[in-house]
């Protein structure tokens, strides 16, 4: 079932924004028999990149859980994908564009969830004099850090379309905003200096932005109930929030119930005049659920205890790599410690070799952008930030164990 109210607004060759939306930073190879659209190609490029694969071992909210059914970052991404597809399909928007944006929107997320993001933010301000936030880092990984082999076996950057890159960097779901509308300006995305500084360029990007919020609120509550971190009084408060909007009982409160209420409400109330929006009633529900989650889940004492451990892990890895610096001799000097820190030296030296000017680039057919100048300490510090931000929780813990073992 569809209402197609946004069909004339979707990104297609008749849309005035079309040429801008499908533009890439440089030409990309093509095959004469390729049956995919530009956005479908982007979806596949993101699906097969290593940053997407690593999301399965990155924290959503609950770290180091022994329960296989607790949400990880990759599951959250797929939830956003499903929610945005449902809304876009109903409204008549381009689902291939929402698919690509949604699957790539969190590839720059740090290990240990938003706690890890906070720690890297401090390190980036101190050592790079720049701001770190995961939406911007997703764009950085898409533009510079992630590579795929081309038809000649050379490693190239992802080189995504503007519309997908825009939706990734503008997806911030933390802003309390109802009635999302796309901006008109075709801006340099690398000029964005703050989270939520701009609305997305497309209606499809706006759908992913609100889908991100819908996807995490309900699932985080479901996981908190499964892990029994909510006290009886907190559960009573939760029921008092939901009861005016749904007849569901406690045993029926789950992600499906909450997402269904919000998705159907968006589909019923959104139109090109009002934007992608919820009813006042549903918007209050979303805001109250968000406040509940922050008060009772995200700063729970058990999460806070693990947060301290995660900070120690990230700071220890940063310090170890920081101390390796020896200008353009850094890689060679670092390898002298390979017997002591084999995994850290191996993987970080490979990271540097891939993104600096050196003979290894030619031997390994790296044709991606050069990111770092090892003669510049700030550039080297940026390499450390990038390397750590790409880590999974488990890899970071393994490196930390390597650093603290004798």
The whole-number pLDDT of residue 364 equals 74
From the number of C-beta atoms within 10 Å of its C-beta (0-12, 13-18, 19+), residue 179 rates as middle
Instruction: Return the CATH class of domain 7-107+146-298.
Output: mainly alpha
Cβ contacts of residue 127 below 8 Å, gap of 6+? 322, 378, 381, 384, 385
The whole-number pLDDT of residue 305 equals 86
The whole-number pLDDT of residue 304 equals 86
Are 295 and 303 in contact, with CB atoms under 8 Å apart?
no
The H or E element that residue 149 is part of is strand 147-149
Are 81 and 102 in contact, with CB atoms under 8 Å apart?
yes
Q: What is the CA radius of gyration of the chain?
A: 22
From the number of C-beta atoms within 10 Å of its C-beta (0-12, 13-18, 19+), residue 323 rates as exposed
The whole-number pLDDT of residue 62 equals 87
The whole-number pLDDT of residue 3 equals 94
Spans in the chain with pLDDT lower than 70: 173-177, 247-254, 359-363
Sequence spans of domains, the chain: 7-107+146-298, 301-403
**DSSP-assigned states of every residue in 291-332:** HHHIIIIIT-HHHHHHHHHHHHHHHHHHHHHHTT-BTBTHHH
The whole-number pLDDT of residue 341 equals 97
The whole-number pLDDT of residue 175 equals 53
């Amino acid at each position: 079932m569809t209402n197609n109210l946004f069909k004339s607004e979707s990104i297609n060759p008749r849309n005035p924004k079309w040429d801008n939306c499908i533009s890439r930073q440089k030409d990309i190879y093509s095959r004469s028999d390729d049956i995919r659209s530009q956005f479908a190609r982007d979806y596949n490029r993101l699906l097969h990149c290593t940053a997407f694969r690593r999301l399965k071992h990155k924290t959503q909210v609950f770290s180091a859980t022994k329960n296989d059914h607790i949400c990880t970052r990759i599951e959250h991404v797929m939830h956003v994908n499903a929610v945005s597809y449902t809304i876009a399909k109903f409204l008549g928007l381009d689902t291939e564009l929402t698919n690509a944006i949604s699957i790539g929107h969190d590839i720059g997320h740090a290990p240990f969830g938003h706690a890890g993001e906070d720690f890297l933010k401090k390190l980036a301000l101190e050592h790079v004099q720049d701001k770190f936030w995961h939406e911007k880092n997703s764009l950085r990984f898409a533009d510079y850090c992630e590579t795929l082999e081309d038809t000649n076996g050379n490693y190239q950057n992802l080189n995504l379309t503007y519309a997908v890159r825009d939706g990734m960097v503008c997806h911030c779901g933390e802003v309390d905003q109802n009635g999302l509308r796309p901006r008109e300006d075709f801006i340099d995305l690398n000029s964005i200096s703050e989270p939520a500084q701009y609305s997305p360029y497309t209606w499809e990007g706006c759908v992913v932005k609100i889908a991100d919020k819908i996807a995490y609120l309900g699932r985080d509550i479901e996981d908190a109930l499964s892990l029994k971190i909510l006290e009886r009084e907190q559960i009573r408060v939760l029921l008092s929030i939901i009861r005016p909007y749904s007849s569901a009982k406690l045993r029926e409160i789950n992600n499906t119930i909450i997402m269904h209420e919000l998705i159907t409400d968006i589909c019923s109330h959104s139109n090109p005049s009002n934007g992608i929006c919820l009813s006042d009633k549903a918007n209050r529900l979303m805001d109250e659920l968000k406040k509940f989650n922050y008060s009772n889940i995200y700063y729970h004492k058990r999460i806070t205890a693990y947060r301290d451990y995660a900070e120690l892990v990230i700071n220890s890895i940063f310090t170890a790599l920081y101390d390796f610096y020896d200008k353009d001799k850094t890689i060679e000097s670092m390898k002298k410690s390979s017997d002591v820190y084999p995994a850290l030296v191996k993987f970080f030296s490979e990271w540097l070799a891939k993104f600096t000017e050196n003979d290894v680039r030619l031997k390994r057919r790296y044709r991606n952008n050069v990111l770092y100048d090892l003669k510049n300490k700030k550039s080297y510090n940026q390499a450390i930030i990038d390397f750590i931000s790409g880590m999974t929780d488990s890899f970071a813990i393994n490196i930390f164990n390597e650093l603290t073992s004798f």
